[in-house]
């Protein structure tokens, strides 16, 4: 990152930086070149959480870094002025090898616990923390390391000693196999990938690593220590026998199940809008057709109850005859494969040529058919008036129900072999 770009970035973060939940906006500052050509700034270097470490045999172990351990006063003090290295060294940084390994230096003001945070905008930056991440000032002095950072190698990872407490459990919904205690820092490495997350990086974080002295035998009654660099166990004594393989397998299975659940939740969210729209349409359709559905259900129930009733059978026969009569009077040719509904539609179309019947239900078809029959009756009555002239003695107007009944009676008599007078 150029000095000009870094300055512009710094200016953009001054506006309402305390209003953001992103710790990278108010716990850190961009790295810029100083007059000596060094890169200097403030960065997040580690955090609390459950981190997975790789053993020598290829298996993994989930280790918990608790807030009370990460923000412990002695632990934070051990971070001050520690050397910065380019990648994790294969050995602990000491006075004997620091000249060969060191490419920079940490500052003396690591972030403390979030309980000391003050949002008035006047609290010194080194006192600010979100209770999860730890930030600290840093200066990178070595030319090759500066070029690596500018070219994109910007993740940070702490090398440190810790004691392992063999206690398993679940923290914030994440299973762990053991707890890191008494964390003491040795160096900070510039690495390609950060275990502490994307926030642990140089803005222009290699995964947090545990670094311990090799031990041949633990003291009786003391917690056993391990040597770990960037999550990989270094060669140690037999006391580093693996104890948590089965527990780690269960943790891995739980992580896989959690990923599957999250994928299902994402799919559910993506389809939720479509489902709501479909439900809304279904409710609208149901409401608009409720009366018709209730009526149709009632008629269907009655039809089933009367199926064996001889009188009902006679009525069905009469209705069929009336249907055929209406078809004959409307000039409709009835074919053998036509259902009652087909005949009704044909009669309606004959009486009302412009009628649109596609997609209409049986209730609608029956209502339109009754109207067509009434029209046919009215038309026949009008013809009778014309033929009879002044001598026409019929009723001035008959209601459709009476006309319909008379027509049915007449058809029944004809079907029984009687003439118009019932002879």
- CB 363 within 8 Å of CB 295: yes
**pLDDT tens digit sequence for 197-208:** 555 667 653 444
Min mean pLDDT across 113-117, 178-182, 233-237 is at 233-237
Residue 132, pLDDT score? 85
Quote the strand ranges of 23-147, DSSP E: 29-33, 39-47, 49-54, 60-65, 83-86, 102-106, 133-140
**How many CA atoms does the CB half-sphere of 129 hold within 13 Å?**
25
Query: What's the chain's Rg over C-alpha atoms?
Result: 45
Give the pair of three-digit tokens for residue 295.
């009526």
The model's pTM: 0.45
Task: Report the chain's mean pLDDT, rounded to a whole number.
Answer: 75
Say which residue the tokens 């380019």 belong to: 86
Spatial distance between the Cα atoms of 355 and 369, rounded to a whole number of angstroms: 11
Nearest C-alpha neighbor of 215 from the set 153, 163, 157: 163
- CB 45 within 8 Å of CB 135: yes
**Mean pLDDT of the 150-160 span:** 91
Of all residues in the chain, what percent carry a pLDDT higher than 90?
28
Quote the strand ranges of 317-410, DSSP E: none
Report whether pLDDT(138) > 80.
yes
Residue with the bigger pLDDT between 236 and 407: it is 407
Domain definitions of the chain by residue range? 3-241, 244-288, 304-415
Q: DSSP secondary structure string, 244-268?
A: -HHHHHHHHHHHHHHHHHHHHHHHH
**pLDDT tens digit sequence for 75-116:** 999 999 999 999 999 899 999 999 999 999 999 989 876 544
**pLDDT tens digit sequence for 354-381:** 888 888 888 888 888 888 888 887 776 6
**Mean pLDDT of the 337-343 span:** 88
Which 3 state secondary structure label does DSSP give 44?
strand
Residue 309, pLDDT score? 66
Most confident of 171-185, 279-293, 294-308, 382-396: 171-185
341 by Cβ neighbours in 10 Å (0-12 / 13-18 / 19+) ranks as: middle
Report whether pLDDT(241) > 70.
no
- CB 315 within 8 Å of CB 404: no
Residue 69, pLDDT score? 94
Cβ neighbours, 10 Å, residue 189 = 29
**pLDDT tens digit sequence for 2-60:** 333 333 343 333 334 444 456 666 788 899 999 999 999 999 999 899 988 887 788 88
């Amino acid at each position: 990152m150029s000095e000009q770009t870094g300055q512009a970035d710094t200016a953009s973060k001054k506006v309402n930086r305390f209003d953001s939940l992103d710790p990278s906006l108010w716990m850190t500052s961009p790295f810029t070149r100083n007059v000596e050509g060094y890169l200097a700034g403030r960065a997040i270097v580690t955090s609390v959480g459950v981190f997975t470490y790789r053993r020598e045999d290829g298996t993994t172990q989930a280790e918990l870094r608790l807030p009370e351990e990460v923000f412990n006063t002695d632990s934070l003090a051990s971070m001050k002025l520690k050397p910065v290295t380019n990648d994790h060294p294969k050995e602990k940084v000491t006075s004997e090898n620091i000249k060969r390994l060191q490419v920079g230096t940490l500052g003396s003001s690591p972030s403390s616990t979030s309980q000391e945070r003050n949002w008035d905008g006047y609290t010194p930056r080194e006192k600010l923390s979100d209770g999860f991440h730890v930030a600290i000032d840093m200066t990178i002095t070595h030319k090759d390391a500066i070029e690596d950072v500018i070219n994109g190698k910007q993740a940070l990872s702490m090398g440190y000693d810790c004691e392992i407490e063999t206690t398993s459990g679940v923290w914030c919904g994440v299973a762990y196999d053991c707890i890191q205690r008494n964390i003491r820092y040795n160096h900070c490495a510039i690495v390609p990938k950060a275990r502490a997350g994307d926030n642990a990086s140089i803005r222009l974080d290699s995964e947090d690593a545990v670094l311990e002295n090799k031990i041949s035998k633990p003291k009786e009654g003391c917690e056993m220590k391990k040597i770990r660099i960037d999550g990989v166990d270094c060669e140690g004594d037999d006391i580093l026998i693996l104890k948590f393989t089965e527990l780690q397998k269960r943790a891995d299975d739980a992580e896989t199940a959690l990923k599957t659940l999250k994928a299902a939740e994402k799919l559910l969210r993506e389809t939720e809008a479509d489902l709501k729209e479909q439900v809304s349409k279904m409710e609208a359709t149901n409401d608009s057709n409720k009366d018709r559905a209730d009526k149709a259900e009632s008629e269907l129930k009655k039809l089933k109850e009367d199926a064996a009733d001889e009188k009902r059978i006679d009525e069905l026969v009469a209705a069929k005859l009336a249907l055929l009569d209406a078809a004959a009077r409307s000039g409709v040719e009835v074919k053998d494969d036509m259902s009652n509904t087909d005949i009704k539609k044909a009669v309606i179309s004959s009486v009302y040529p412009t009628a649109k019947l596609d997609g209409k239900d049986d209730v609608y078809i029956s209502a339109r058919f009754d109207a067509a029959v009434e029209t046919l009756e009215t038309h026949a009555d009008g013809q009778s008036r014309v033929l009879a002239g002044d001598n026409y003695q019929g009723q001035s107007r008959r209601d459709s129900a009476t006309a319909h009944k008379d027509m049915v009676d007449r058809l029944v008599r004809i079907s029984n072999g009687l003439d118009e007078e019932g002879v």
